[in-house]
Structure 1
Amino acid sequence: MTVEKNAPLWQGAEWVARQGDVPWGELEGKTVAITGATGLIGKTLVLSLMAHNELAADPARSVKILALVRNEARATSMFGEGGDVTILHWDASAPSTEGYPKADYVIHCANMTDSASFIEHPVEVIETTTNGARSMLEYARHVGARVLVLSTMEVYGQYKSEDPIAEDQGGFLDAMSVRNSYPEAKRLDEALVAAYASEFGVSATVARLAQTFGPGVAYDDRRVFAEFARDCVEGKDITLLTTGEKRNMYLSTGDAATGLLTVLTKGEPGRAYNVANDDTICSIREMAEQVADRFGDGCTHVEVKVDTEAAKRFRKGDLLRLDTTAARSLGWSPKIGLMDMYSRMIDQWKCDGKGC
């Protein structure tokens, strides 16, 4: 394995592996297939399972991992060769699982998550999103696996209420808005999960994630949370392209991993679960100001320069507060706060730059 043991990315994986509320007993001795295994959430899951195996120090308790990726060389450089990880080629744009070994569990993480691509390449977003989910549902049906499909808080659309949104609620989502190519495709993924569970008896569930970040986010990531941190690292001011009034909830990569493993093993087939940290809700402007104050070393300030064209990349709506009661009822709870998420992400960037 090429991730250094003193790197925040591996330390985060060990943190997940030590969480006693994760149903590890359901996973031990089993095989877990993970698509998008070199993406942010995918690699967090792979490394967390590897860390569990190392801490368990018992082959009988090890989890075998099938890492499904487009770039096998990148996966090899990340996870090493041999051991408990088997790297398999898989591409959501032309998915095929022919000749794959049997898995007991499947977590479908692969997806296009750059909001600019939702506008620039909406056809590809729709095709890869739906084709990838269908491929994994068919694979799970064929091998008899439990499958978890990752979705997004954006499926709720514009929900006009201060009350938390439960999984059976939702707001307006304009199908003719090109920006909505992503949430509309995710809605179809969810419909496929319900359909496969009903028609074929596939043990399939959905996890609707809040925006997730932490160690492992690329330094050049174009999403706003990364832009805020990058401005602080480079000593620049944070420039908001909207008024910053929109309020969101967030989730750390570590809490995402514990939540997904819990929903995967204990979730009810044919239903969705919100996975978010209730304590992180804040406006975009509030988050920018907190980040500048905590990590800007007095050099970073927040300014507003509204750009109506650039604002088209962002989700519409003023508030999105997810009700996490269902996921918590399975025994899961988030533990990592918003500024700690930033701290761990920035520490990983510094580690990458120094070659730790």
Structure 2
Amino acid sequence: MVEKRDIDIICNSSVNWRLYQGRTVLVTGATGRLGRYILETLVDVDLRYNLNMRIVGLARSEEKTKYVFGSTLELPNVYFLYQDINTVIDYNGPIDFIFHTAGAAAPIDFRDRAAETLWGHVNGTHNILECARKHNTNRVLYVSTVEIYGEWLSKDNIKESDMGIMRHLNYRACYPEAKRLCETMLASYKEEYSIDYCGVRFSHTLGPGIAIDDGRAFAEFMKCTLSNKDIVLHSDGSAMRTYTYTADGVNAIFLIMEKGESTMYNVAADENLISIRDAAELIASMSHSGKTKVLFSEEACNMPYLPFKLAIMDTSKVRELGWKPQVDVKQAFQWTMASFC
């Protein structure tokens, strides 16, 4: 279950929940971190405001769905489809809004399942857009990534209309290149079939529900700290990152679905800008034993981290919609680590 604290963060904004009154909402990747937050929020506001929604989750595993949602599945307004996003979506009835979050996003997937990662995003988004076309869906929200910008050489923060170099002849590009194609699909379906869309480009979200062994740098730092092991950096740690707490990110998703234009929005907590080295030091300082240190190594790392420094995104567009992150970087790390205990 999503923490009440996090539901309150998501709902602490100017979202007009009446948008969903009497509507059917589909959430893909419903057992993933973003999907479960979206679905649990919809359940909460449906009960709170008596919206008479039908909330449909899509997930591969019925067993995992029962573990993640528990008694929520007993509610009469919640329905689940159990299938792979790569297969055609078979649902009878209206679908008014779609939140499309499904797709592998962990570095360990890029390394071990590059082809499956690529096709999961491409086939999945194609199936969602065909579903939206069949059901005359009002709007599709798509979750994308800062990685679509590629290698950004300017010192300026990157705007949604900018684009950097993408070195595509690298298996690591399976993720950002697939995301780029999916964004093009959204624009193409709007042009030809009038399927309205909007979307977010996230940069490093974290919070309860993330897997500690998925290969992201901050997750590795937390894993070491909780195991009383030293954190070993394979660079000088100077690369900068913005860390956005999941509840803040989902808050932005709902604002964009309601108020956003038919385009993509950068979403990142600029206030939480921190270097990888400082992030490692901060996480190490949370060790209960005090034994974790940050060390440096020149040995190659076997995880497929990005070979370049990520762009820092300009988030002025989403802030004009009224979005403002509420969780600082220390809280984000603390609450994420606490979820592993």
Query: Shorter-chain TM-score category?
Result: over 0.9
Mapped partners of 1:230, 1:160: distance in 2: 32
1:64 counterpart residue number: 54
Residue number in structure 2 paired with 1:105: 97
Q: Does 1:287 align with 2:279?
A: yes
C-alpha separation in 2, matches of 1:141 and 1:16: 33
RMSD: 1.8
* C-alpha separation in 1, matches of 2:301 and 2:333: 28
1:344 CA displacement: 1.1
Q: What is the match of residue 306 of structure 2?
A: 315
How high is the TM-score relative to the length of structure 1? 0.89
- The answer for the alignment partner of 1:34 in structure 2 is 27
Q: CA deviation at 1:224?
A: 1.4
- Matched position secondary structure for 2:188: helix
Residue in 2 that maps onto 1:196: 189
Name the residue aligned to 1:353: none
Alpha-carbon distance in 2 for matches of 1:294, 1:192? 43
User: What SS class does the counterpart of residue 88 from structure 1 fall into?
Assistant: strand
Q: Identify which of 99, 124, 135 aligns with 2:127.
A: 135
CA–CA distance in 2 between the matches of 1:319 and 1:122?
20
Counterpart residue number, 1:175: 168
2:233 corresponds to: 240
> What is the rounded CA distance, in whole Å, between the counterparts of 1:306 and 1:41 in structure 2?
35
Tell me if structure 2 keeps the 8 A contact 1:229–1:346: yes
Q: Which amino acid aligns with 1:108?
A: H
Matched with 1:330 is: 321
SS of aligned partner of 1:151 = strand
Match of 1:120 in 2: 112
Number of residue-to-residue matches in the alignment: 337
24, 42, 49: which one pairs with 1:49? 42
What per-residue deviation string (whole Å, max 9, x for no partner) do you get for residues 217-266 of structure 1? 23433321111112222221111123322212221110111111111222
CA distance in 1, matches of 2:78, 2:299: 45
The Cα of 1:53 is off from its aligned counterpart by 3.0
Contact 1:245 1:318 in 2 (8 A): no
What is the CA–CA distance in structure 2 between the aligned matches of 1:86 and 1:330, rounded to whole Å?
Answer: 31
* Cα distance in 1 for residues equivalent to 2:311 and 2:295: 24
Instruction: Tell which deviates more after alignment, 340-349 or 188-197.
Output: 340-349
**Aligned counterparts of 2:331 and 2:259: Cα–Cα separation in 1:** 28
Among 296, 299, 302, which residue is 2:294 paired with?
302
AA in 1 matched with 2:327: I
% of aligned pairs identical?
Answer: 30
CA contact (8 A) 1:16 1:257 kept: no
Q: Deviations over 1:158-211 (max 9, x none)?
A: 101221110000111111111111100100001101111111111112211111
Contact 2:148 2:176 in 1 (8 A): yes
How far the C-alpha of 1:297 sits from its partner, in A, is 4.5
Secondary structure of the 1:170 match is: coil
Q: Partner residue of 1:86?
A: 79
Tell me what 1:154 maps to. Answer: 147
Asked if structure 1 preserves the Cα contact closer than 8 Å seen for 2:147 and 2:176, the reply is yes
Deviates more, 1:183-192 or 1:313-322: 313-322
* Deviation, structure 1 residue 107: 0.8
Give the SS at the match of 2:42: helix
Against the structure 1 CA distance between its residues 305 and 101, is the aligned structure 2 distance closer, same or farther, given a 3 Å change threshold?
Answer: farther
* Letter matched to residue 238 of structure 1: I
How has the CA–CA distance of structure 1 residues 17 and 207 changed in structure 2, closer, same or farther, with 3 Å as cutoff? Answer: closer
Q: Secondary structure at the match of 2:34?
A: helix
User: More displaced, 45-54 or 106-115?
Assistant: 45-54
Give 5+ residue unaligned stretches, structure 2. none
Offset at residue 22 of structure 1 (A): 2.4
TM-score normalised per structure 2: 0.93
CA distance in 2, matches of 1:12, 1:127: 36
Q: Is the 8 A contact 1:22 1:332 kept in 2?
A: no
Where does 1:200-239 land on structure 2 (aligned, <5 Å)?
A: 200-239=193-232
- Alignment partner of 2:281: what SS? helix
Show the counterpart of 2:264.
272
